[in-house]
Amino acid sequence: MDQATTKTSHHKLPISKLLRRALFILIGATLVSVGLEIFLVPNQIIDGGIVGISIIASHLTGIKLGVFLFVLNLPFLLIGYKHMGKTFAISTLFGVTVMSIGTSLLHPVSSLTDDPLLAAVFGGIILGIGVGLVLRYGGSLDGTEIVAVLMNKKSPFSVGEIVMFMNLFILSSAGFVFGWNHAMYSLIAYYIAFKMIDLTIDGFQESKSVWIISDNYKEIGDAISARLGRGITYLKGEGGYSGDDKKVVFCVITRLEEAKLKLIVEELDPSAFLAVGNIHDVRGGQFKKSAIH
C-alpha cells in the first residue's frame, strides 16, 4: 500500500484516562448546576450563551431550566460531532446531560443568599470552575462556542469577538426581562466566571517562558540550573543593530519562581535583557524540576 494513502489509526484512550475524564466532567457539570440553581437563577442573574438563553426561556415559560439546557444544546451537539469529532461530542453530551439533570434536582433547593452581589460573585466562581473543568477534560457545556468556531472560518471576526458579541446581546436581554440592575449583576457574574474558567484551565501553577540576552549568559544559565533546578537552553542570536553574535538563555519556570529568577539575573548582570511571557501548556522536554543540592 502506498504510504501517502495510509491513514493514521485512531488510538483509543486507556480506560483509566476515560474514567478520569468522565469523573472531572461529572464534577464540573455538577458545579455548574450548583452555581446556577443555588446562586444565580433564584436571584434572576444569568450567564452568557445557551445557559443565559435557557434561564430567560425558563423564566418566561415556567418550564424547568434543565429542559431548555438539554434541548437547546442538542443541535450544537450534532454540529460538534460532525466538525469536532466523536470524543468531543460524547464528552459534551455527557456534560450537558449531567448539568440538565443537576439543575432539575437542585431546583427545589433554596438559594444560599438573597443578596444579588454575593450571588453573582460566588455563583460566578462556582460556575467558572465547573465550566473550566469540563473544557479542560475535552467537553463543552455551551453550543455558542461551537458556533463561534465555525463562524470564524467564514468571517473576519475572531472566535473571542463572536462569543463576546453573542453574550453581550444575551446579557443585554436580561435587562428587559429581569430589570437592568439584574443585567449588571449578570455582567459581574459573567466576568468572574470568565476569569475562573481561564484559571481552572491553565492551573494555579501557570508556567512562564524566559528569554535572557547577556554577555554573562553562561554564569546566568549555570545559576538558574543550580538555584532553581530548571533546565536551560542556549539559543544563537544576532544583534539587529550591531550584527554581533549573541547567546540567548531560554528556560521555562513557574510564576512562583519568577521573582527569584529576576534576582539571579540582577545579581549577575544588571544590564541584561530579560523578557518573561505566559505559557498555557508545557509538555515534554526537561521541564520537570530537578533536585537542588
pLDDT tens, the chain, 293 aa long: 444 444 444 556 678 888 888 999 999 999 999 999 999 999 999 888 888 899 999 999 999 999 999 999 888 888 877 776 788 888 889 999 999 999 999 989 989 899 999 999 999 999 999 988 988 888 888 877 777 767 766 777 766 667 778 888 888 888 888 888 998 999 999 899 888 887 887 665 567 899 999 999 999 999 999 888 888 899 988 777 777 788 899 999 877 788 899 999 999 999 999 999 887 666 666 555 555 44
The contacts of residue 281 (CB under 8 Å, 6+ apart) are 207
**Rounded CA separation 180/114 (Å):** 17
Cell readout for 275 is 523578557
Instruction: Please count the CA atoms within 13 angstroms of the CA of 154 that sit on its side-chain side.
Output: 4
143 burial class (0-12, 13-18, 19+ CB within 10 angstroms)? buried
Residue the block writes with cell 537542588: 292
DSSP state of 42: G
pTM greater than the 0.85 cutoff: no
**Rounded CA separation 189/193 (Å):** 6
CA dihedral 122, 55, 45, 124 (to 10 degrees): 20
